[in-house]
Amino acid sequence: MKKDKALEDLFLAQKPQFDDSDAFMASLTRRLDAVEYLKQYQEATIRRYKWAMVATFVIGIISGAVGITFLLAAPANVPLFTFHMHSVFLQWLSENSRMIVAIVLSLLMSFGLISIIANLQDIVRMKKRDSYSVATEYSL
């Protein structure tokens, strides 16, 4: 498509000149500072939340370990729980109660462990990014 000469001339003639570029850049820099501050505040909040998650999962794992210790310390020939009802399924549950509880606890502990690792990785990544941005800021 060809340009319309008259329109092109009109647009070129109205091309504005800005004599307040310094003020514009100063204003932009102030805005970017505010954005940086908010980003850092937000990241600090997320980091605190992630530490709280890690602490919760650690407590969960410790509780799981205590549960498994209790399981191992309990007499092997006595089921952990019994149902006073005649049902094949409930009877099977009470017969295998030790195994079922052990499996559930192990699964929960594995989930806790994976979550701890994931959260710690996130925290380390966020810290690295922070230190990088601080380093570049001070290299100005």
Partner 1 sequence: MTREVFIAYVEREQEALRGFLLALCCGKKDDADDLAQDALVKAYLASAGYQDKGKFRSWLFKIAHNTFLNHKASCRTMNSIDEARTLIGGTPADASFAHQDLYLALRTLPPKERSAITLFYLSGYSIKEIAAITDTSEDAVKKQLSRGRDKLKERLKL
The whole-angstrom distance between residue 130's C-alpha and the CA centroid of its chain comes to 16
Among the residue ranges 14-22, 64-72, 76-84, 92-100, the one whose residues contact partner 1 (CB under 8 A): 14-22
Q: Which of 23, 13, 50 is nearest to 125 (CA)?
A: 50
Under rule CB under 8 A, residue 46 binds partner 1: no
Total of chain residues touching partner 1, rule CB under 8 A: 30
DSSP 60-116: HHHHHHHHHHHHHHS-TTS-S---SS--HHHHHHHHTHHHHHHHHHHHHHHHHHHHH
The nearest distance, CB 9 to partner 1, in angstroms, is 9
Under rule CB under 8 A, residue 49 binds partner 1: no
Site string for partner 1, 16-35 (x = CB under 8 A): xxx--x--xx-xxx-xx--x
Q: Is 3 helix (H, G, I), strand (E, B) or coil?
A: coil
Binding residues for partner 1, rule: CB under 8 A, are 1, 3-4, 6-8, 10-18, 21, 24-25, 27-29, 31-32, 35-36, 133, 136-137, 139-140
